[in-house]
Amino acid sequence: MANSDRIHVAVGVIENADGQIFISRRHQHLHQGDKWEFPGGKVEPGEAVYRALCRELREECNIDVQDATPLTVIYHDYADKRVLLDVWRVTRFNGQVQQREGQEWRWVSVPELGAYRFPEANQDIIGKIQDLAFPGL
Protein backbone atom coordinates (compact mmCIF):
# COMPACT_ATOMS: atom_id res chain seq x y z
CA MET A 1 0.00 0.00 0.00
CA ALA A 2 1.16 3.52 -0.73
CA ASN A 3 1.42 6.06 2.10
CA SER A 4 -1.65 7.81 0.68
CA ASP A 5 -3.66 4.69 1.59
CA ARG A 6 -3.04 5.44 5.27
CA ILE A 7 -6.19 6.65 7.03
CA HIS A 8 -5.55 9.82 9.06
CA VAL A 9 -7.66 9.89 12.23
CA ALA A 10 -8.03 12.62 14.87
CA VAL A 11 -8.47 10.93 18.27
CA GLY A 12 -9.63 12.56 21.50
CA VAL A 13 -8.68 11.31 24.95
CA ILE A 14 -11.44 13.12 26.85
CA GLU A 15 -10.75 13.53 30.54
CA ASN A 16 -13.35 14.68 33.07
CA ALA A 17 -12.77 16.64 36.30
CA ASP A 18 -12.36 13.35 38.22
CA GLY A 19 -9.54 12.19 35.93
CA GLN A 20 -11.71 9.56 34.26
CA ILE A 21 -11.40 8.84 30.54
CA PHE A 22 -14.31 8.56 28.10
CA ILE A 23 -14.37 5.35 26.01
CA SER A 24 -16.94 3.75 23.73
CA ARG A 25 -17.35 0.34 22.13
CA ARG A 26 -17.11 0.10 18.34
CA HIS A 27 -20.12 -1.31 16.54
CA GLN A 28 -19.59 -4.99 15.81
CA HIS A 29 -19.82 -4.60 12.00
CA LEU A 30 -16.95 -2.05 11.86
CA HIS A 31 -13.21 -2.62 11.51
CA GLN A 32 -11.96 -3.76 14.95
CA GLY A 33 -15.62 -4.12 15.91
CA ASP A 34 -16.72 -4.79 19.48
CA LYS A 35 -13.48 -3.36 20.86
CA TRP A 36 -13.33 -0.20 22.99
CA GLU A 37 -11.90 3.01 21.60
CA PHE A 38 -11.25 6.67 22.22
CA PRO A 39 -13.60 8.86 20.13
CA GLY A 40 -12.60 10.58 16.93
CA GLY A 41 -12.71 10.19 13.20
CA LYS A 42 -11.14 10.76 9.83
CA VAL A 43 -9.34 13.97 8.99
CA GLU A 44 -10.76 15.26 5.70
CA PRO A 45 -8.36 16.28 2.88
CA GLY A 46 -7.06 19.80 3.57
CA GLU A 47 -8.59 19.87 7.07
CA ALA A 48 -6.43 20.82 10.06
CA VAL A 49 -6.19 18.03 12.63
CA TYR A 50 -7.43 20.21 15.52
CA ARG A 51 -10.45 21.28 13.45
CA ALA A 52 -11.17 17.62 12.60
CA LEU A 53 -10.90 16.70 16.29
CA CYS A 54 -13.37 19.43 17.28
CA ARG A 55 -15.78 18.47 14.49
CA GLU A 56 -15.66 14.76 15.27
CA LEU A 57 -16.11 15.20 19.03
CA ARG A 58 -19.06 17.56 18.47
CA GLU A 59 -20.70 15.05 16.10
CA GLU A 60 -19.86 11.91 18.05
CA CYS A 61 -19.81 13.00 21.71
CA ASN A 62 -21.95 16.17 21.84
CA ILE A 63 -19.14 18.41 23.16
CA ASP A 64 -17.35 21.57 22.10
CA VAL A 65 -13.63 21.29 22.80
CA GLN A 66 -12.26 24.21 24.83
CA ASP A 67 -8.74 22.93 25.51
CA ALA A 68 -6.81 20.11 23.82
CA THR A 69 -3.11 19.39 23.52
CA PRO A 70 -1.30 16.88 21.31
CA LEU A 71 -0.59 13.64 23.17
CA THR A 72 1.04 11.37 20.59
CA VAL A 73 1.08 10.31 16.94
CA ILE A 74 0.81 6.63 16.09
CA TYR A 75 1.43 4.90 12.76
CA HIS A 76 -0.01 1.40 12.78
CA ASP A 77 -0.47 -1.22 10.08
CA TYR A 78 -3.21 -3.79 10.47
CA ALA A 79 -3.36 -6.64 7.96
CA ASP A 80 -6.20 -4.90 6.12
CA LYS A 81 -5.78 -1.21 6.97
CA ARG A 82 -3.07 1.37 7.70
CA VAL A 83 -3.81 4.20 10.14
CA LEU A 84 -2.21 7.39 11.38
CA LEU A 85 -3.68 8.32 14.76
CA ASP A 86 -3.23 11.98 15.76
CA VAL A 87 -4.09 11.76 19.45
CA TRP A 88 -5.10 14.78 21.54
CA ARG A 89 -5.75 15.09 25.26
CA VAL A 90 -9.01 16.99 25.85
CA THR A 91 -9.20 18.46 29.35
CA ARG A 92 -11.80 21.22 28.95
CA PHE A 93 -15.03 21.10 26.99
CA ASN A 94 -18.56 22.48 26.94
CA GLY A 95 -21.57 20.20 26.86
CA GLN A 96 -22.57 16.94 28.45
CA VAL A 97 -20.56 14.06 27.01
CA GLN A 98 -22.66 11.31 25.49
CA GLN A 99 -22.24 8.86 22.61
CA ARG A 100 -24.46 10.13 19.78
CA GLU A 101 -23.82 7.22 17.39
CA GLY A 102 -25.55 4.55 19.46
CA GLN A 103 -22.40 2.99 20.88
CA GLU A 104 -22.08 1.72 24.43
CA TRP A 105 -19.92 4.17 26.40
CA ARG A 106 -18.57 4.90 29.86
CA TRP A 107 -16.16 6.91 31.96
CA VAL A 108 -13.32 4.79 33.37
CA SER A 109 -10.37 5.49 35.65
CA VAL A 110 -6.89 5.24 34.18
CA PRO A 111 -6.09 1.96 36.00
CA GLU A 112 -9.34 0.45 34.66
CA LEU A 113 -8.32 0.99 31.02
CA GLY A 114 -6.34 -2.27 31.09
CA ALA A 115 -9.54 -4.25 31.71
CA TYR A 116 -10.97 -3.27 28.30
CA ARG A 117 -10.13 -4.77 24.93
CA PHE A 118 -8.87 -2.01 22.59
CA PRO A 119 -7.55 -2.22 19.01
CA GLU A 120 -3.82 -2.88 18.92
CA ALA A 121 -3.02 0.66 17.71
CA ASN A 122 -4.59 2.04 20.91
CA GLN A 123 -2.14 0.31 23.27
CA ASP A 124 0.38 3.14 22.86
CA ILE A 125 -2.36 5.66 23.71
CA ILE A 126 -3.13 3.79 26.92
CA GLY A 127 0.58 3.80 27.79
CA LYS A 128 0.77 7.59 27.31
CA ILE A 129 -2.32 8.13 29.48
CA GLN A 130 -0.84 5.95 32.22
CA ASP A 131 2.48 7.87 32.01
CA LEU A 132 0.59 11.14 32.54
CA ALA A 133 -1.45 9.77 35.44
CA PHE A 134 1.45 7.97 37.13
CA PRO A 135 4.71 9.69 36.16
CA GLY A 136 7.87 7.86 37.10
CA LEU A 137 6.30 4.40 37.35
Residues 6+ apart with CB under 8 A from 83: 6, 7, 8, 9, 74, 75, 76, 77, 121
What are the pLDDT tens digits along the chain (137 aa)?
A: 444 589 999 999 999 999 999 999 988 877 777 899 999 999 999 999 999 999 999 999 999 999 999 999 999 999 889 999 999 999 999 999 887 777 899 999 999 999 999 999 999 999 999 999 888 66
Rounded Cα–Cα distance for residues 44 and 7 (Å): 10
Q: Count of alpha carbons within 13 Å of 124, Cβ hemisphere only?
A: 13
Nearest to 7 by CA among 119, 128, 110, 133: 119
Q: Is the pTM of this model over 0.75?
A: yes
